[in-house]
Amino acid sequence: MFICVPCLVNVPPDAYMMDFVFSEWEEDGIYDNRNGMDYHIPVSDSIETENYMRIIHIAVEMAPVAKVGGLGDVVTSLSRAVQDLGHTVEVILPKYDCLNQSSVKDLHLYQSFSWGGTEIKVWVGRVEDLTVYFLEPQNGMFGVGCVYGRNDDRRFGFFCHSALEFILQNEFSPHIIHCHDWSSAPVAWLYKEHYSQSRMASTRVVFTIHNLEFGAHYIGKAMTYCDKATTVSPTYSRDVAGHGAIAPHREKFYGILNGIDPDIWDPYTDNFIPVPYTCENVVEGKRAAKRALQQKFGLQQTDVPIVGIITRLTAQKGIHLIKHAIHRTLESNGQVVLLGSAPDHRIQGDFCRLADALHGVYHGRVKLVLTYDEPLSHLIYAGSDFIIVPSIFEPCGLTQLVAMRYGSIPIVRKTGGLYDTVFDVDNDKDRARSLGLEPNGFSFDGADSNGVDYALNRAIGAWFDARDWFHSLCKRVMEQDWSWNRPALDYIELYHAARKF
Ligand code: ADP
């Protein structure tokens, strides 16, 4: 029960925000500080305005210059969203030889310093309107032709330490340093061991886990040393809360859903699709994209549903379910386009053989493209009717969000961020409405083919039998907001909370 108690608070004239916590009694009883974030009340007549923060991300991926998966997307799009709210956001990245330099504007040498037994050249440039510093140790560490896969612990450990040294030497004094996953986890403990008594003493370290599957030891250590930690969806945060790396630090651990950048993913301005579209002309726009997709891959130009799959091909992504979905779609008279690449050469080989077999048996109805191809992904998001994501576990997942931005209907396994963002049209009406949303896709439980069939059969059935309804669903998913609008505010709250220590 709530009771309203009017009270007067004397506020200093330069206070622009009041933070409240509530306690039942002075010493004990119920205590509510909004799970560590406090309740904020803005002061309307303050002579001061909010101080904007300086935030520096130290990361090993960043879209589109060095993207391997979702981590790269998030570093760019979260940074842009927070910058749009008035804060200063910069990124420090290794200068890989395989960097996609055409996406860097005004790249030039910024300085050079000696550290760790080598000279480190620092380049600066603009990526998607963000200032990015690229560190290039002259010992050739990042000149090995790839982001991951070569003695990475040592390379990234060196990168993290040199990034901190660069910040110190330049007296950047950021309010927040934000590091990501096992690869820049060392920032958390290197900062505490070497820099927390330095000129950077007031800096706070925030750590985000994008996937706990890799480098749990490093992640556990960063959890110990960071000031605040997040992972990329509320459900995944609950899924991993009992993990040894997380459990002792639950009080500083939050689940904040990822968003997508609506400017980077925008079917109205996308150069890789034939007809620009919004939710107003989604049917026409997607029809043109579907035709272009069918033409590109020699698929029959017939009026059938296309199921798209865009993924890293790893066990996490539910390989056996992906294979089953391909067969089931083809049996149901649909077409399939898969864009995927496997870091494991055995899986890559397996899919190459599957591609040969399927292209033979179902000629003109299926295409497997076994590579990484960003432009092609845009055409598949636009030209497909459905995007299937049958992950065994999924911290957040971006493909279902991009799919919806392009008016494609997600079909997902109910796990992690897929559960938080996809609401089944038949089973999740109440859950969606409790969040102010309408159902937006198809989902299934379990990890066997029955689950896939349950969702896919209903999806394809609706496409054939209820086309008007299906088109209204395409329009509806495009209208939903899966951008950073909300999550960026949550991150800013978190940064403020980190600074209170
Ligand atoms: P993860 O980070 O686990 O790979 P996410 O769903 O979080 O999965 O992010 C995947 C991102 O990578 C999306 O932007 C998706 O479009 C992109 N992607 C995945 N595979 C490919 C590919 N083969 N070609 C182009 N883009 C891809």
Domain boundaries, the chain: 54-259+486-500, 282-482
Going by C-alpha positions, the residue among 298, 368, 296, 307 that lies closest to residue 339 is: 368
Lookup result for tokens 């992690």: 416
Write out residues with Cβ below 6 Å of ligand 1.
Answer: 69-71, 73, 310-312, 339-341, 372-374, 377, 396-399, 402
If you take atom 4 of ligand 1, which residue's CA is the nearest one? 69
CATH number for 54-259+486-500: choose from 3.40.50.2000, 3.90.170.10, 3.90.230.10, 2.102.10.10.
3.40.50.2000
If you take atom 17 of ligand 1, which residue's CA is the nearest one? 69
- Order of strands, sheet of 88-94, starting from the edge strand that comes earlier in the sequence: 105-115, 118-127, 130-137, 88-94, 54-58, 176-180, 204-209, 228-231, 253-255
Cα–Cα distance list, 361 to 146, 339, 367, 393 (Å): 36, 19, 12, 32
Residue 134 φ/ψ, nearest 5 degrees: -110, 120
Instruction: Report the distance separating Cα 380 and Cα 367, nearest Å.
Output: 11
Q: Do the two domains 54-259+486-500 and 282-482 of this chain adopt the same fold?
A: yes
Going by C-alpha positions, the residue among 50, 102, 140 that lies closest to residue 495 is: 50
Q: Is the Cβ–Cβ distance between 168 and 160 less than 8 Å?
A: no
Question: Best of 398, 406, 415, 482 to mutate for ligand 1, by most ligand atoms within 8 A of CB?
Answer: 398
Regions in the chain scoring below 50 on pLDDT: none
- Measure 301 CA to ligand 1 centroid, in angstroms: 27
Instruction: Give the pairing type, strands 335-341 and 366-369.
Output: parallel
- Measure 64 CA to ligand 1 centroid, in angstroms: 12
Residue 2: predicted pLDDT: 65
User: Of all atoms in ligand 1, which is nearest to the CA of residue 391?
Assistant: 3
**Torsion angle (degrees, nearest 10) of CA 309, 377, 99, 158:** -30
Instruction: Give tens-digit pLDDT for 140-170.
Output: 999 999 999 998 999 999 999 999 999 999 9
Instruction: Give the pairing type, strands 176-180 and 54-58.
Output: parallel
Q: Is the Cβ–Cβ distance between 204 and 228 less than 8 Å?
A: yes
The 3-state DSSP class for residue 198 equals: coil
CATH number for 282-482: choose from 3.40.50.2000, 3.90.950.10, 3.20.20.120, 2.60.120.380.
3.40.50.2000
If you take atom 19 of ligand 1, which residue's CA is the nearest one? 311
- Measure 70 CA to ligand 1 centroid, in angstroms: 6
Instruction: Report the distance separating Cα 107 and Cα 127, nearest Å.
Output: 9
Q: Which two three-digit tokens encode residue 246? A: 């997380």
**Total-model pTM:** 0.93
Question: Best of 71, 128, 258, 311 to mutate for ligand 1, by most ligand atoms within 8 A of CB?
Answer: 311
Q: Decide: residue 422, CB within 10 A, 0-12 exposed, 13-18 middle, 19+ buried.
A: buried
- Measure 312 CA to ligand 1 centroid, in angstroms: 6
If you take atom 26 of ligand 1, which residue's CA is the nearest one? 374
Residue 14: predicted pLDDT: 87
Residue 275 φ/ψ, nearest 5 degrees: -125, 125
- Measure 412 CA to ligand 1 centroid, in angstroms: 15
Q: Which two three-digit tokens encode residue 22? A: 């509530």
First to last CA, the chain: 32
Residue 8: predicted pLDDT: 86
If you take atom 8 of ligand 1, which residue's CA is the nearest one? 70
Mean pLDDT, the chain, integer: 96
